[in-house]
Structure 1
Amino acid sequence: MDFSKLSMTPPHLQEAMTLMQSGDLKAATIAIQNNLSGIASASDTANNIMVDLPMPQDGLAPMGKLIDVNKLQGFTDTMKHFKLDLPTVMNMSAGVNTHSEQPIPDNAQFLKGTLKSSQGSHDYRLYIPSSYAQAVEKGLRLPLIVMLHGCTQSPEDFAAGTRMNELAEQHRCLIVYPSQPASANQNRCWNWFNPTDQQQGQGEPAWLAALTQSITKDYAVDSSRVYIAGLSAGAAMAVIMAEAYPQLYAAVGVHSGLAYRSATDLPSALMAMRQGGAAAMNRAGNSKFVPMIVFHGDQDHTVSIRNGNQIVEQAKQRLQAQKNDLNTQQHQRCSEQNCRSTQLEICDERGVSQLEYWKIHGAGHSWAGGSSAGSHTDPKGPDASKEMLRFFLNH
């Protein structure tokens, strides 16, 4: 159906918008499925995929102001592809953490903290490796990695799935996991699509920067070796942080994310997830280049791989503008079972990798090489956590 010729919102979309505005995601999802896609079949509902459905703090209130009739068809087509079962919807609405705490080594700590800043109070978890006290006694300062979870996830869930704490033990790093509360976004998504959350000095970037600076100040952290990474909505926010605060981060890791300013509101966010950001290539920004490693599955039906391509193209444009004598290589990365990844690598004149893009063949919207102890992970390689840390520690 072509809604572009109509002068009003179709009744079934209006019903869904009203339900979502009131916070009733369960009923809204049923309305969308029944009216746009037909009642979901048993095979559809069995395919429980991670759905990074952005939700502003005040529901869909801005939507009536921002959507025009020419966008409704694309919005309708996009919503057809969101397959949600009811337990997933209810967990998304409540922001439930169903994952138990993972054991840690003796003398290690996985602390709970709250940062009070000009942006309000925000919770986080901080992993301190068991060797931290010895490092302090020797006068050493350690790397810090900021890890931004995806929608519906929690710091504990993300830590378990990525196994980043285990790598922190091996390489003697601190890991901080900021927590996005359901009060900021009903799905616990980082609000990467809001203009106020895409720039320095305000919104979520401001408090994430404040948290980074606080941990760097309060612990034995090497301020020249601070890194940031994320999954999906968290990856999109990591890209924003590298753009807004390039002086804070020595490198950035992006798994299944979106390019800088791929969207400026909820409808364009949904379209960008499906088709890539229409204006992303015109918004590469002017900040200094921050070394970047990107992972994206070529069968990702939640955040299209077109977004991974756009992230890399943005970064490549900035890198080429700021550095000469670059060397580009492409490799097939193989395990004993198969060659699952194609790695694009751009190195500087010293041979140091500045930009890497790992296309993971046959992979969907999940953390590559992750543990089933956390949600939205794919146990098959490559090991994204290991490769990210390897890349980070070279910068």
Structure 2
Amino acid sequence: MNPRFHAAIGEATNRLRTSDVTGATAAIQRALAGRGSMPSAASDGGTRSGDNPEAPPARGLRAILQKLRQEQASFVHAPSHGDTVTDDARDGEKVRAHRFQSAAGSVAYKLYVPSDHAGRELALVMMLHGCTQNPNDFARGTRMNALADEFGLIVAYPSQPKSANAQGCWNWFDPRHQQRGAGEPAVLAGLAQELASEFKIDRKRVFVAGLSAGGAMADVLASTHPDVFSAAGIHSGLPHGAARDVMSAFAAMKGNAKVTAQGRSPIRKIIFHGTADATVHPSNGRAVFDLAGSAQGKPAEFQTDAVINGKRVTRSLIGHGDAPARVEHWLIHGGGHAWSGGDRGGSYTDETGPDASREMVRFFLET
């Protein structure tokens, strides 16, 4: 366990013994933010991914498996830094700051709209940042705006204020924010519905993705609002219902989550997690996968290994024959608590390994 992470456990426990709930909460939130425990791209020993050939779109499980048998790594394309346009200043009028207001509450967000969106069949992707991050940082690190131009995506980046959580974390572990009709899930789902209506986007093309606390909240939304989102991407996150307070959140992050059927959801999911994640134990990613599979009646599971941009990846899929996978789980061997294939200009990113953003978009748009 990371020494700082361990120290935070001790501090929180001692403060609770003296009834210092506020201090204990602050200690746990520092741990939830992963301060000092985040392996960087450099510490992972990675190198820049370079220009890998982009694979033709694979349709269905059989096609994917056949492709992997033929080529161990070439089905992933990781764009170079020169291809990336994510910064507000460079995106210009493509990015606008907005605020969504509803009866359940309000949220500020950044919105990326491709300049050629008129006349295209659009999709909506809501991106939920992790603790200590913000929309600009998350957009830069994930390179999602470049993919928005390529695939016709409207991308929303909600911002969690420190007034709601001292570390800017989405409150996935708080029962007030785990149910339909109230709290953060209601606000975020309402925002997605408003944007889908504004841009005339079919519900089948409305998606949510997130990292860490954002990934956990993405799974909450997948469970509470399957009528709003048709697929979810969970990177280094936890399953819905894994915690009910800050102490159980701490336990869940260590790999001691008490997972229940609350985390089941009928919508499609793609999960990324690193085996060397010292902030959120990789068992949480597997728990999301297993719960998602059980919600599908546990159809056939397929598994394959590949080496992608220097990282060994175990990819598990659940689905039926030639149909797109219902659930995908990407276990990145040696990967830390960082967005796989991300841009070093953003926080909590690892340039090596598969391009999580591109794979999520591919998964979302498969029909």
* Fold conserved between structures, TM > 0.5: yes
The 2-side partners of 1:310 and 1:147 are apart by 21
With the length of structure 1 as denominator, give the TM-score of the two structures.
0.72
2:144 is aligned to 164
TM alignment of 1:143-158, pairs within 5 A:
143-158=123-138
SS in 2 for 1:243: helix
- Contact 1:370 1:377 survives alignment (8 Å): yes
- Contact 1:149 1:234 survives alignment (8 Å): yes
Does residue 297 (structure 1) correspond to residue 297 (structure 2)? The answer is no
1:334 is aligned to 307
From the CA coordinates, give the structure whose radius of gyration is larger: 1
Q: Which has the higher contact order (CA 8 A, sep 6+)?
A: 2
The unaligned stretches of length 5 or more in structure 2 are 1-9, 39-85
The 2-side partners of 1:153 and 1:225 are apart by 26
How many pairs are equivalent? Answer: 311
Does residue 53 (structure 1) correspond to residue 26 (structure 2)? The answer is no
Q: Percent identity between the aligned chains?
A: 39
CA deviations on 1:193-249 (whole Å, 9 max, x unpaired) are: 011211100110000011001111122323320000000000000001010000111
The 1-side partners of 2:25 and 2:183 are apart by 25
The farther-off stretch of 219-228 and 351-360 is 219-228
The 1-side partners of 2:364 and 2:256 are apart by 27
The 1-side partners of 2:347 and 2:35 are apart by 18
Change (3 A) 1:375 1:115: same
- Contact 2:114 2:153 survives alignment (8 Å): yes
CA deviations on 1:26-57 (whole Å, 9 max, x unpaired) are: xx69xxxxxxxxxxxxxxxxxxxx96527xxx
2:325 is aligned to 353
SS in 2 for 1:168: helix
SS in 1 for 2:329: strand
Does residue 216 (structure 1) correspond to residue 196 (structure 2)? The answer is yes
Pick the aligned partner of 2:350 from 378, 384, 387: 378
Pick the aligned partner of 1:226 from 198, 206, 209: 206
With the length of structure 2 as denominator, give the TM-score of the two structures.
0.78
CA deviations on 1:48-72 (whole Å, 9 max, x unpaired) are: xx96527xxxxxxxxxxxxxxxxxx
CA deviations on 1:268-326 (whole Å, 9 max, x unpaired) are: 0001001231x2144344x5x111100000000100001111111111111126xxxx4
Instruction: Give the root-mean-square deviation of aligned CA atoms.
Output: 2.9
- Contact 1:102 1:160 survives alignment (8 Å): no
1:14 Cα offset (Å): 2.5
1:156 Cα offset (Å): 0.6
The 2-side partners of 1:24 and 1:309 are apart by 27
- Contact 1:284 1:318 survives alignment (8 Å): no
1:16 Cα offset (Å): 9.7
- Contact 1:368 1:383 survives alignment (8 Å): yes
1:10 Cα offset (Å): 9.5
Q: Which amino acid aligns with 1:160?
A: R
